[in-house]
């Protein structure tokens, strides 16, 4: 089909050239004044002219272009080919043919008419294709595009020409004063971004596309935060310029605004060079490698070319998913092993560590859901505390170089069984200081967006179901990070850590969960409290109103990376740890949740009941807004 279309276009160009030549010769009285001999010489000159312009067209590949997508480059190539062909003919006529049958003025007129005819043909074809696609599509939904730059124009063309598109772009909005009041491809620029809410109400538009991928993160956040206040308006956005490098179609890159866009800070990007030196050529094991954090760790670890990657997980479906993903992406370039095992099985743990002799071990396997662990505290102790103990002892016995524990901000002055159990895990690592050749490191995570069980997916499901959106308490504030940020921090910690250090991350300003829920409802095209209600269900067992600002502690040291800090924890000896473990073991034997909870209070002195902590925090929690982003952070 492509060859056929090129042949048809070639035939049309040839016909236009013939018509232009005959017309110009006729108008110039060439035939009237020509002798019979002169007329007989015309045919060779026409053949040479035809050969020259055809060769120029083929040389510049004008028939290789898809003219329905043509831009200035294609049209310039067409003009250049015509000029080159006519110039070549003129030189050949004067030098080789020793005669000038067609005057320069007539030749110029022929070239002008020919180019005009070719351009008209291509413009007609392009308008026809666009109109045909538009008529076949269902372009009923009125929409506006914020950003009348290159990305906005490209999005307009694709929404208009794609027959699968449901959108009819009615207007642009842009802050560039040179564009205000002008038309872009026939679509008016109605006003600035600040005028969007008022103008949309007048025009009856309820769909907005934000097409400013070149804006920095702060500006994008500012625009999206402003637009999210509009009622009954659904907002979609193009990703940032860096996210567009895979060059998918523009319409395919559109996505609904995600709550990450409204967090008010650029993503944390860490230097990969130290991690390359840390992981390249190493044997790496990841426990809990099928989970949300563990699987992202695996994705990022393989980018640094380890010699072997061993994924350990008790849940076979998750382990299978990440195995298939990595095998599809890397194939035979990656030496990958997946083992189904529980960290609670001491014999199995020792067997795996002995078999593979990992040089680096990431421990991400844990029970992490706060309310579930309140009702099943024995499982938190067995899996989190004694599972970590099994791995730590095996790592020490078989010479693991570095052991990295994924901890949580809930281990800071914990109010839950889960938080207290993770604090005990940190103590297990601290007890090895000075007693093992292995570097034991803990990295504390805050609330991870998009992880299994996080609040944002829950809100989205509730909105899709028509509401209500449920909050445990409207006063709650939290610090957030993305899964890739969390995984990067763990790898950086492993690269920097020396002995028994506890790493935390500067996370910027906190987010009020109520604001997060309201914004997400608005971005879905609904009005909070009118279309979708927000209700409080009460604090869950073990839940705090807000997490600790660990980075504000006096026992914090900044690393060479301004986003990463080290907390200095008091030392704990192996003997002290053994005493604590005996207390927990005895509580497990009793198999009574109340006894286990009391034992946790005994072994973790900072463990307090949530009612007590929340009462001290007060009736109202305010988010500070006057200080710098650097004044706030979350444990990671």
User: Nearest Cα to 338, choosing from 304, 308, 366?
Assistant: 308
Environment class of 524 (CB within 10 Å of its CB; exposed 0-12, middle 13-18, buried 19+): middle
Of 115, 133, 151, the residue that ends a domain is: 133
Q: Which domain holds residue 229?
A: 137-257
Predicted confidence (pLDDT) at residue 170 exceeds the cutoff of 70: yes
Predicted confidence (pLDDT) at residue 91 exceeds the cutoff of 90: no
3 state DSSP class of 420: helix
Q: What is the CATH number of the domain that holds 161?
A: 3.40.50.720
DSSP, res 570:
P
Asked whether residue 67 is assigned to any structural domain, the reply reads: yes
Q: Is 266 left (phi over 0), alpha (psi -120 to 50) or beta?
A: beta
Asked whether residue 471 is assigned to any structural domain, the reply reads: no
Same domain, 118 and 141: no
Asked whether residue 527 is assigned to any structural domain, the reply reads: no
Asked whether residue 535 is assigned to any structural domain, the reply reads: no
Say which residue the tokens 């660990």 belong to. 550
pLDDT per residue as tens digits for the range 403-432: 999 988 888 888 899 999 999 999 999 899
Asked whether residue 418 is assigned to any structural domain, the reply reads: yes
CA dihedral (589, 595, 599, 600) positive or negative: positive
C-alpha dihedral (410, 415, 420, 421), degrees to nearest 10: -80
Same domain, 115 and 207: no
Asked whether residue 594 is assigned to any structural domain, the reply reads: yes
> What pLDDT, on the 0 to 100 scale, is given for residue 365?
94
Same domain, 110 and 151: no
3 state DSSP class of 169: strand
Asked whether residue 17 is assigned to any structural domain, the reply reads: yes
Same domain, 437 and 341: yes
Say what percent of the chain tops pLDDT 90. Answer: 27
3 state DSSP class of 210: strand
Please report which helix (H) or strand (E) contains residue 444, including its range.
strand 439-445
Active site residues: 410
> What pLDDT, on the 0 to 100 scale, is given for residue 153?
85
> What pLDDT, on the 0 to 100 scale, is given for residue 131?
59
> What pLDDT, on the 0 to 100 scale, is given for residue 379?
94
User: Nearest Cα to 516, choosing from 456, 454, 461?
Assistant: 456
C-alpha dihedral (584, 589, 591, 597), degrees to nearest 10: -20
pLDDT mean over 182-205: 87
Of 101, 133, 165, the residue that ends a domain is: 133
Extract the tokens encoding 572.
């704990």
Count of domains forming the chain: 3
C-alpha dihedral (151, 156, 162, 164), degrees to nearest 10: 100
pLDDT per residue as tens digits for the range 509-549: 667 788 778 877 877 767 788 888 888 887 766 566 665 54
Same domain, 569 and 425: yes
Predicted confidence (pLDDT) at residue 330 exceeds the cutoff of 60: yes
Apex CA 55: angle with CA 84 and CA 82, to 5°? Answer: 35
Same domain, 184 and 313: no
pLDDT per residue as tens digits for the range 623-636: 443 333 323 232 32
Same domain, 120 and 207: no
- What is the phi/psi pair of residue 608, to 5°? -125, 155
Please report which helix (H) or strand (E) contains residue 279, including its range.
helix 273-279
Confidence of residue 35 (pLDDT cuts 50, 70, 90): very low
Q: How far apart are CA 476 and CA 319, in angstroms?
A: 34
pLDDT mean over 156-161: 77
Q: How far apart are CA 394 and CA 359, in angstroms?
A: 12
In sequence order, which residues have a C-beta less than 8 Å from that of residue 355 and are 6 or more positions away? none
Extract the tokens encoding 235.
């907002």
Say which residue the tokens 């026939």 belong to. 186
Same domain, 486 and 601: yes
Same domain, 129 and 196: no
Say which residue the tokens 């002892």 belong to. 393
| Stated pTM of the model | 0.59
Same domain, 99 and 7: yes
Environment class of 25 (CB within 10 Å of its CB; exposed 0-12, middle 13-18, buried 19+): buried
Q: How far apart are CA 287 and CA 311, in angstroms?
A: 6
Contact 369, 408 (CB under 8 A): no
Same domain, 73 and 57: yes
Same domain, 368 and 427: yes
Apex CA 150: angle with CA 145 and CA 156, to 5°? Answer: 40
What distances in angstroms separate CA 281 from CA 277, 284, 296, 306, 365, one per listed residue?
9, 9, 19, 5, 24
In sequence order, which residues have a C-beta less than 8 Å from that of residue 4 and are 6 or more positions away? none
Of 133, 162, 196, the residue that ends a domain is: 133
Residue with more model confidence, 601 or 27: 601
Asked whether residue 610 is assigned to any structural domain, the reply reads: yes
């Amino acid at each position: 089909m492509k060859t056929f279309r090129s042949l048809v276009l070639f035939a049309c160009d040839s016909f236009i050239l013939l018509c232009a030549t005959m017309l110009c010769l006729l108008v110039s009285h060439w035939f009237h004044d020509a002798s019979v001999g002169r007329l007989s010489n015309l045919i060779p000159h026409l053949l040479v002219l035809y050969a020259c312009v055809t060769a120029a067209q083929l040389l510049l590949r004008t028939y290789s272009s898809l003219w329905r997508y043509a831009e200035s480059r294609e049209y310039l190539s067409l003009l250049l080919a015509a000029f080159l062909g006519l110039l070549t003919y003129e030189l050949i006529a004067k030098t080789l043919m020793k005669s000038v049958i067609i005057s320069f003025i007539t030749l110029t007129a022929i070239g002008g008419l020919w180019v005009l005819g070719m351009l008209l043909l291509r413009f007609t074809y392009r308008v026809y294709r666009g109109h045909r696609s538009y008529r076949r599509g269902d372009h009923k939904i009125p929409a506006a595009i914020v950003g009348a730059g290159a990305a906005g124009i490209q999005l307009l063309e694709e929404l208009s020409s794609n027959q699968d598109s449901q959108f009819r772009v009615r207007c642009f909005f842009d802050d560039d004063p040179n564009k205000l009041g002008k038309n872009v491809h026939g679509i008016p620029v109605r006003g600035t971004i600040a005028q969007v809410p008022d103008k949309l109400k007048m025009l009856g538009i309820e769909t907005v596309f934000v097409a400013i991928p070149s804006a920095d993160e702060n500006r994008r956040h500012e625009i999206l935060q402003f637009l999210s206040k509009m009622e009954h308006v659904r907002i979609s956005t193009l990703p940032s310029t860096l996210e567009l490098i895979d060059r998918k179609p523009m319409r395919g890159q559109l996505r609904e605004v995600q709550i990450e866009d409204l967090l008010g800070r650029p993503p944390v990007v860490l230097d990969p060079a130290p991690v390359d030196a840390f992981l390249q050529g190493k044997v790496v094991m990841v426990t809990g490698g099928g989970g949300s954090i563990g699987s992202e760790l695996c994705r990022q670890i393989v980018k640094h070319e380890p010699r072997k990657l061993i994924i350990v997980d008790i849940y076979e479906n998750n382990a299978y998913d990440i195995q298939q993903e990595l095998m599809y992406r890397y194939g035979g370039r990656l030496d990958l092993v997946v083992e189904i095992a529980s960290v609670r099985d001491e014999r199995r743990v020792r067997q795996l560590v002995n078999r593979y002799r990992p040089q680096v071990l990431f421990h991400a396997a844990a029970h992490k859901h706060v309310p579930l662990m309140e009702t099943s505290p024995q499982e938190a102790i067995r899996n989190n505390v004694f599972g970590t103990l099994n791995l730590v002892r095996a790592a020490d016995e078989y010479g693991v170089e570095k052991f990295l524990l994924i901890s949580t901000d809930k281990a800071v002055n914990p109010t839950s069984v889960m938080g207290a159990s993770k604090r005990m895990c940190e103590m297990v690592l601290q007890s090895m200081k000075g007693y093992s050749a292995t570097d034991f490191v803990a990295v504390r995570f805050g609330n991870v967006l998009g992880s299994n069980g996080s609040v944002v997916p829950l809100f989205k499901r509730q909105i899709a179901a028509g509401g209500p959106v449920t909050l445990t308490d409207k006063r709650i504030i939290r610090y957030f990070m993305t899964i890739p940020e969390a995984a990067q921090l763990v790898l950086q910690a492993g690269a920097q850590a020396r002995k028994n250090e506890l790493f935390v991350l500067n996370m910027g300003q906190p987010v009020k969960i109520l604001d997060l829920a309201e914004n997400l409802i608005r971005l879905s095209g609904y009005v909070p409290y009118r279309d979708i209600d927000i209700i409080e269900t009460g604090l869950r067992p073990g839940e705090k109103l807000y997490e600790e600002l660990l980075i504000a502690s006096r026992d914090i040291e900044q690393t060479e990376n301004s986003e990463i800090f080290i907390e200095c924890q008091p030392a704990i000896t192996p003997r002290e740890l053994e005493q604590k473990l005996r207390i927990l073991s005895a509580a497990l034997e009793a198999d009574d949740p109340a006894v286990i909870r009391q034992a946790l209070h005994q072994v973790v002195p900072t463990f307090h009941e949530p009612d007590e902590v929340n009462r001290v925090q007060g009736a109202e929690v305010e988010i500070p807004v006057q200080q710098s982003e650097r004044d706030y952070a979350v444990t990671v």
